[in-house]
Amino acid sequence: MSEALKVICIIFWFITKEEQGVQSSSEERIGQFYRMVEDNMGNGMVYRDAIEIAAVTIGGLIPAKVSQAMAKYQEATHPQSHLYQEEQKDALALLSMGVLWDNTYFEPIPPDEDTPLENTLAESIYFIMRYGREEDGFEKALHANADTVGDVAARADAIRRVLGKR
């Protein structure tokens, strides 16, 4: 094997290992985030505050994804927004995560494939915020989640971890 080929193989090996480390790091951070939310709620904090404190504490992409979810929740529940007036607002909210819904000119933005775990986190937080204050909110959040596409199982686990603890 030539020296140049050896160097290319070594570089490829390091890149592959680094990408695996980033994925593992995302999984660890998200797991740490949900553990912190559970701990905060166990100490008497309401779920919204627990989510926001944990997001800021853990850092990385998590605060940005939580902010996205909070903004989409506010848009979906504000009576004057276009999204609020839509029949399938939850499905449309997930499709338009990160941008304002405009039913006239909307073209869905494809989710960032480099951050699937973080995207699922944002979608989970949306359901938690959207249904958390309602009577039977836990069941409603799980039902709404089941009616949408994406990683339904991962979102359901997150919903159970937060709303199932109240």
Span 139-154, pLDDT tens digits: 999 999 999 988 999 9
Least confident of 37-51, 93-107, 114-128: 93-107
**Token pair for 83:** 């999204």
Task: Write down the pTM of the prediction.
Answer: 0.78
